[in-house]
Amino acid sequence: MTDQDLKVANKQELLHKEETTSTDKYFVPTVDIFETENEVTVVAEMPGVDNDGVDISLDADILTIKGRMDIADEDKNWKILLHEYETGHYLRRFTVAETIDQENIAATLNDGLLKIILPKSMPAQPRKIEVRSE
Amino acid sequence: MAIPRFTEKPQFRNPWMEFERIRRGLDKLTKEAFGDELHYSSHASVYPPLNIFETPNSLIVRAELPGIKADQLDISLETDTLTIKGKRQIQHQESKVSFHRREIECGNFNRSIGLPIKIDPDSISAKLVNGILTITLNKAEKTQPRRIVITAG
C-alpha cells in the first residue's frame, strides 16, 4: 500500500459564500475520517499550525475545524525564487451524523496532523414503564 | 523622371516581430485574467511542492510535509543538487474501522532540485516544525554581496 509514490495534490482554496473582510486565505484541509464502535476519528492535515492556532467546535451537529497558520519568520522582503504552494489558514466543516459525547472530545496535534476523537454517546437505556391496573 | 523618396522605401521588417507582438498580447490577457500572482506561481509536478526564497545571505527551501517524522526524511546535497527523499506512513492503530473519508495519501517521494546559487555545503541546516520543513542554505562567500568602500583621495 505504501509502495506507491506520492502525487502532488494542489491545495484547494475555500470558497466563501460571502466576502471576507480580511484578505487572509483559507484552504480546505485534506482529512481522513473513520469510525469504530465507540468513536469517530477525524485526522486533518494542517501544516504550520501550532496548538494555540487550532479551534475545534461542535455546534449542534456541525463540526468546525479551524487552524491558524503561523510562520513567524517568513519575511515579505525575501525574494521568491520558486512558488509552488500557497500558505494560509485552514477551515472545514462537517455534519456529524452520530450523536457525540461533547464533554469528552479529545484532540492532538503532531507534525502538522490534527487528530480529533469524538466519542459516541451511549444511547439512553430504554426504561421500562410498567402499567398497573388499579 | 521619377525621384524615389526615402520614405517610400519598404522598411526592413523583422519577421519575428509579429510573433513577439502576439506573445505580448497573450501575456497581457493572462495577466488581466489571473492578476499578477500568476507571474511567479508555478505548479509542482513532483511531490513535495516547494517554495524557495532568497535572503541576502542564504537560500531558504520550504515544503509542507504533514505527518512526516524527521527520521522518515532524507536530505542530501550533491554539488548543486538538493535532494529531499522520504516516506509518509500514517498508521491508524485501530483495527476494526470503517472509513468515511480517505483523502490523506501515503507513499514515497523523492525530489531533486538544482540550486540557482552557489552555496556553502558546510552550513546547511534543516528543521521540521509542525509539519513544515525549512532548509536553510548559506550562500558561498564569493556570491555574497560585498560592499566596496570608496575612499576620497
Q: How far apart are CA A27 and CA A92, in angstroms?
A: 8
Instruction: Give residues with Cβ within 8 angstroms of A111, minimum separation 6.
Output: B66, B67, B68, B69, B128, B130, B131
Helix (H) or strand (E) holding B30: helix B17-34
Decide: A34 and A102 in contact? Cβ < 8 Å: no
| Average pLDDT value over all residues in chain B | 81
Shortest Cα distance, chain B CAs vs residue A95, angstroms: 12
Closest CA to A100 of A130, A56, A131: A56
d(CA A51, nearest CA chain B) in Å: 9
pLDDT at B39: 47
Q: How far is B24 from chain A (nearest CA, A)?
A: 23
Q: Do A84 and B55 touch (CB under 8 A)?
A: no
Q: Which domains does chain A have, with CATH numbers?
A: 12-16+24-72+85-119 (2.60.40.790)
* pLDDT recorded at residue A87: 87
Task: List, for residues B16-39, the tens digit of each pLDDT value.
Answer: 778 888 888 888 887 776 655 544
Give the distance from CA B67 to its chain's centroid.
23
Please compute the mean of the pLDDT values over residues A64-86 and round it to a whole number.
Answer: 83
Of B51, B60, B109, the CB nearest to A6: B109
B104 to chain A, any CB pair closer than 8 A? The answer is yes
Does B132 sit within 8 Å of A71, measured CB to CB?
A: yes
In the predicted model, is pLDDT for residue A81 greater than 60? yes
Query: What is the per-residue pLDDT for A47?
Result: 92
pLDDT band at B3 (very low <50, low <70, confident <90, very high): low
In 3D space, the residue among A100, A18, A28 whose CA is nearest the CA of residue A57 turns out to be A100
CA distance A72 to chain B (A): 12
User: What is the reported pLDDT for A99?
Assistant: 83
Which among B87, B96, B101 has CB closest to A2? B87
pLDDT in tens, B43-86: 777 889 999 999 888 899 999 999 899 888 999 998 889 999 99
Q: Please give the pLDDT value at position B4.
A: 55
Label residue B127 by pLDDT band (50, 70, 90).
very high
- Does the structure's ipTM exceed the value 0.85? no
Nearest to A31 among B46, B96, B103 (CB): B103
Lowest-pLDDT range of A46-50, A106-110, A121-125: A121-125
Asked if pLDDT for residue A59 goes beyond 80, the answer is yes
Q: Which residue has the cell 490577457?
A: B29
Residue of higher predicted confidence among B54 and B141: B54
Domains and CATH numbers, chain B: 43-92+104-141 (2.60.40.790)
Task: Give dist(CA B46, CA B23) in Å, integer.
Answer: 28
Contacts with B116 from chain A: Cβ below 8 Å: 81
Cβ-based contacts of A10 with chain B (< 8 Å) = 43
